[in-house]
Structure 1
């Protein structure tokens, strides 16, 4: 009805316009409303009549658009750049597949929305990815400087308040599929309160063949940055690697040393292990001589501990103190898991009865922890599926209650000594941590000694022996064990792995997904401040 009302109004206005015109023929003074057309009289000026008809049609179209303001507003909101940016950000943050996003764009376009036809246009997906054959697989290098530049461009406060960037580096291997040996070996960096970022990525069926070739691009760029620094907004920031946070296999690969099953596997002291019943035991009542960076650089440990000269040495990177012992692998997945397995499947010295195990599982399952904990306690029946966070939760919190009155006093005191020592080393208050550091060191030494008596001599393997060296890392770096943990890196590796959607060119997939994400930078709260998601940058990386 509104349409016809507007139509009649336009007809009357047009009639008045014709009647007031002295230059035109009187035959145009009457306008018929039949079917919205103007009849042509015999003496009418055809060109003028057609112009009148066009004016009516255009007016009717504009009036129709005015009547549907709500619909047009909705369409216009999706046709501007900001809305396309929001749609692209939603797709990248939720990891929407290209096929699903293409279907959504097609639906919206059918309803009049001015959007690209293909998801790659919307997300600005790179067309080309530089990948080369290297180290027995495919390799792509993204760059330290470009990665740092992206993070700092969005965090000006850090640039203003800091003069140095202290990097923590992580190298680790992750399997891509359950049905093949395909695996990633990424190089990640992390500094301050920001989440890890990807610097290089290797993909192959085995780990990189040569550590020299694998690290060559990374170390060459680091050498330049350590000398010249990184210029951000006219300010020059120093760049320095303070630690490599890796698990034992990755540390042995990077440092070119014996693996954790070697006689001289310990990275901090010169203890020699002994083989017994297919187990390498690292237990000694005497304090062994500590390893030093000076002797490591000179190759003093070749033939026993060192397999060759690590490429890190010539770039001034410490290979003894510069590789802290990661407590996620050492304590959570190592010692804590081994303690529980010995209680379940160990020798008669420490093995619990089935009734005791059922009671312990029942106590764990009956606990209801606050939401701040990542997971709720699970039964020992599924211990093979426990995650590192569950073992951490157990040794720091639930074991204090769960083991009491179930295990022997000796086992309880041994477990409690490790719990108290870790609580001290993980304390974020530097004053309290340093005040009780010597006590924590004594507790760790007591724990290793008691393990030999309580669980048997076969219990003290590589991970258990290295417990005594944890306090040295806290003292050396003057920080909590949390700051030297691989937990942030492991979480990021999981994110990188999820970006692979098919077996075709996995490196290219990771590159493109992260390149899409970095164009849609988002700030989210993190423990100590603000983080970038994603904090990964690719120029021609």
Structure 2
């Protein structure tokens, strides 16, 4: 009895003490029980409500919350409407779609994914873009839209327009975007908690934040493996090996690397991230996507289960620090069964290597190959999160998208500077002597087509190479691909257009033009004029990087070269490059613009193959034998790979290279690097899962809702503007004006939006009477529930189209236009897309998905 009485008195004393004082004492000595903290916070909220004069009446409280939310909406100047102009749900309208510069623009493995900051604060992009001001500064606008998913749904504080879950996910996205240290994250959490009103529901410490996201962190799946630090020989799992020298070389140096269980990760994606729903939603994807390719459909016939998975994988390295030799290598996969617009959400790391030496792929891939063999035979067992039904999904990884050095090591053939080094054919190549100690391998156009490599021929060549200890047509021995289920040496290698075309061919010709002094094609003397032209460009939010200074071309990223190739090069080079070289370059632009479309027919593939073959052949005639590089030769095989695996945009390494850059930025310490990255990856994985589930419906389907942003007051209309509005709307006394709008997840601006400096999102393409038109939005208008835009027309001038003389083909995605004084009012529903204004031209994107990959 005395003990019970004593415990009751202690509990009573505890209730009387200030929650903040008790919390500090408990945090000082250990972990606070969650139930105790929740009781304290509830008491504090009740006290705060009484002090602020709020009542306990539920109807009154609900009314106050609505008023509070309406006031917050007004502060941000945003009104949301459905597809037909009917006002939509305020919480669901901000879908945070594809309105920003995409971090998929990172490449080369040395970039963190968001260094394209213009420093202007006008970039209305999503959380992957650096400029945030254009969207009101939110890292992610579309939080809290999924009706069936709740994450920390309690209000952040009394009458707050946001929930605790919304605040937490934004802090976590800030952590992953800017790669801040965990120490900084801990301080940030404490700072936010202390700045919010007393009794707020924001986690008070990093410990409580971890508790809230714990259910979204994958189960412990990291396994440490050991390799010889000298010869790279695989020694086994750390838990299974005994101390001693390497069995192969006798050295005692060891390197540890991490494997993340592929089976555990896939089970997690099914049960915690809604992978099954994403697969169910992917019925009719774009015709050129990998999920509609020949090889994918063949494998789906072989593995017909609805939830059987086909993976695309990649491995690559990045130098982490300039002051040392250490490099980070990742092994990552993406799931081809999901819609392309959410594929980056299902891209994950399955292996990490951090050491002074690059890994031997036979060692680094050993755990991955063992996992794939087991999953191909036995599958992954998982439970559907909604129906509770048990499933078994078989998993195969038949394709790999990597750069040239890794391709050679995987196929076990000569590297790209050796004889017979092409991965697709048996061309030998020639050795070009440039000087006493300078040579290079070139690949002149052969008189007769070289035979293509097949898995049967490479198997015979590998057997002979191993038996006779010789190299046969470039083949040095058995390929590592033969040990991976469904992989083969003939079809599994994908020519990644990021490395092959953008960082290879495009960069090569840019260097020829601007550094090849004394040649017929040299335009380096016009470098200053080209730079002035480039600096006047103002990209859209979806174009994540633009070339600016010609003298800085060595620093250009793959996404910069993409912008140069597809949009900028033709308008920029037209006044300076001789016509025969300009016409030749147009062949590459035409060929790649066909291959990067959403829909590609068999005739389109034949045409693209013809154009790229012409480009390769004419290069030898115009630029000489020294220009016939390995990348240029492989360009002639790009259409073959496209027939097998789909358009280059759907299987490129952009998403993997971006992940590589993000991982390198997350390294802050100097020891236990892989352990540090493992813990950080868990947080990022949980963040991506929460974010994806909060916005699942908008992620999978393009949201038709329209949000009117940035209301304009006291507008003074010109006579022409007033006349155009009256002709369409008749009475304009009750009209409201806005300077921005969000349409299907994309931010559109107008001439009235003054905060835009380095970007330009007011040029549009719209349809009227089934014809395509272009214009400049002056401002947006709402009359009742109807939404309009006042547009200044741009007239297309067909005589100035870029047309290839020999083939008579026109570059259709670049339109020459002339500004007019004609104003017209259009419905927002007639706007089809944004266009990229480049001088006297406007450019349309070739597909809607690439910037989201």
Same fold (TM over 0.5): yes
Verify the 8 A CA contact 1:88 1:123 in the aligned structure 2: no
| Partner Cα distance (1:491, 1:530) in 2 | 24
1:222 pairs, out of 361, 369, 372, with 372
Larger CA deviation: 112-121 vs 244-253? 112-121
Return the TM-score normalized by structure 2. Answer: 0.50
**SS state at 1:504 partner:** coil
**Aligned in 2, Cα 1:66/1:424: closer, same or farther, shift over 3 Å?**
closer
Verify the 8 A CA contact 1:166 1:241 in the aligned structure 2: yes
Counterparts of 1:470-509 in structure 2, within 5 Å, are 470-477=638-645, 479-509=646-676
**Aligned in 2, Cα 1:273/1:254: closer, same or farther, shift over 3 Å?**
same
Aligned to 1:68: 51
1:119 pairs, out of 206, 231, 241, with 206
Q: Which has the higher strand share?
A: 2
Aligned to 2:481: 312
| Partner Cα distance (1:339, 1:491) in 2 | 25
1:207 pairs, out of 348, 358, 370, with 358
**SS state at 1:324 partner:** strand
**SS state at 1:448 partner:** helix
| Partner Cα distance (2:510, 2:673) in 1 | 38
* C-alpha displacement of 1:255: 2.3
Aligned to 1:38: none
**Aligned in 2, Cα 1:62/1:219: closer, same or farther, shift over 3 Å?**
closer
* C-alpha displacement of 1:525: 7.4
**SS state at 1:236 partner:** strand
* C-alpha displacement of 1:355: 3.3
| Partner Cα distance (2:264, 2:413) in 1 | 32
Write the deviation string for residues 211-239 of structure 1: whole angstroms up to 9, x where unpaired.
Answer: 22211111111011112223333233332
**Aligned in 2, Cα 1:530/1:320: closer, same or farther, shift over 3 Å?**
farther
**Aligned in 2, Cα 1:530/1:502: closer, same or farther, shift over 3 Å?**
farther
**Aligned in 2, Cα 1:281/1:364: closer, same or farther, shift over 3 Å?**
same
Verify the 8 A CA contact 1:134 1:213 in the aligned structure 2: yes
Does structure 1 residue 147 correspond to structure 2 residue 265?
A: yes
**Aligned in 2, Cα 1:519/1:320: closer, same or farther, shift over 3 Å?**
same
**Aligned in 2, Cα 1:173/1:66: closer, same or farther, shift over 3 Å?**
closer
| Partner Cα distance (2:655, 2:459) in 1 | 30
* C-alpha displacement of 1:440: 1.2
* C-alpha displacement of 1:203: 0.9
* C-alpha displacement of 1:338: 0.5
* C-alpha displacement of 1:121: 5.0
Verify the 8 A CA contact 1:349 1:456 in the aligned structure 2: no
Verify the 8 A CA contact 1:65 1:72 in the aligned structure 2: no
Larger CA deviation: 242-251 vs 85-94? 85-94
| Partner Cα distance (2:662, 2:186) in 1 | 23
Verify the 8 A CA contact 1:499 1:510 in the aligned structure 2: yes
| Partner Cα distance (1:341, 1:63) in 2 | 69
1:281 pairs, out of 413, 436, 442, with 442
Aligned to 2:832: none
* C-alpha displacement of 1:179: 1.2
Verify the 8 A CA contact 1:297 1:313 in the aligned structure 2: no
1:329 pairs, out of 499, 502, 520, with 499
Write the deviation string for residues 375-414 of structure 1: whole angstroms up to 9, x where unpaired.
Answer: 2331211111111111111111211222213111221111
1:445 pairs, out of 594, 613, 628, with 613
Write the deviation string for residues 298-348 of structure 1: whole angstroms up to 9, x where unpaired.
Answer: 316840412232232133411221111111001100100110101122263
Q: Which has the higher helix share?
A: 1
Aligned to 2:557: 387
**SS state at 2:478 partner:** coil
**Aligned in 2, Cα 1:435/1:404: closer, same or farther, shift over 3 Å?**
same
| Partner Cα distance (2:205, 2:500) in 1 | 47
Aligned to 2:237: none
* C-alpha displacement of 1:494: 1.7
| Partner Cα distance (1:70, 1:190) in 2 | 54
Aligned to 1:197: 348
1:264 pairs, out of 417, 420, 427, with 420
Aligned to 2:227: 134
Aligned to 1:460: 628
Verify the 8 A CA contact 1:343 1:350 in the aligned structure 2: no
Structural RMSD (CA): 3.3
Counting matched residue pairs gives: 465
Q: Which consecutive residues of structure 1, in runs of 5 or more, have no partner in the other structure?
A: 1-60, 532-541
| Partner Cα distance (1:65, 1:205) in 2 | 57
Counterparts of 1:101-116 in structure 2, within 5 Å, are 101-104=185-188, 106=190, 108=193
Larger CA deviation: 125-134 vs 486-495? 125-134
* C-alpha displacement of 1:117: 7.0
| Partner Cα distance (1:186, 1:517) in 2 | 16
Does structure 1 residue 92 correspond to structure 2 residue 260?
A: no
Does structure 1 residue 241 correspond to structure 2 residue 397?
A: yes
| Partner Cα distance (1:117, 1:506) in 2 | 28
| Partner Cα distance (1:99, 1:369) in 2 | 36
Verify the 8 A CA contact 1:363 1:402 in the aligned structure 2: yes
Verify the 8 A CA contact 1:105 1:118 in the aligned structure 2: yes
Aligned to 2:408: 252
2:324 pairs, out of 160, 180, 195, with 180
Counterparts of 1:283-298 in structure 2, within 5 Å, are 283-286=444-447, 287-298=449-460
Verify the 8 A CA contact 1:135 1:214 in the aligned structure 2: no
Verify the 8 A CA contact 1:342 1:350 in the aligned structure 2: no
Larger CA deviation: 104-113 vs 441-450? 104-113
Verify the 8 A CA contact 1:448 1:464 in the aligned structure 2: yes
| Partner Cα distance (1:63, 1:86) in 2 | 22
| Partner Cα distance (2:266, 2:334) in 1 | 10
**SS state at 2:431 partner:** strand
Larger CA deviation: 63-72 vs 341-350? 63-72
2:314 pairs, out of 170, 181, 204, with 170
Counterparts of 1:509-524 in structure 2, within 5 Å, are 509-520=676-687, 521-523=690-692
* C-alpha displacement of 1:465: 0.8
Write the deviation string for residues 249-285 of structure 1: whole angstroms up to 9, x where unpaired.
Answer: 1212222221111111111111112222122111133
**SS state at 2:420 partner:** coil
**SS state at 2:402 partner:** coil
| Partner Cα distance (1:120, 1:469) in 2 | 53
Return the TM-score normalized by structure 1. Answer: 0.77
| Partner Cα distance (2:675, 2:169) in 1 | 20
* C-alpha displacement of 1:120: 4.3
Larger CA deviation: 63-72 vs 115-124? 63-72
**Aligned in 2, Cα 1:527/1:84: closer, same or farther, shift over 3 Å?**
closer
| Partner Cα distance (1:62, 1:404) in 2 | 67
Aligned to 2:809: none
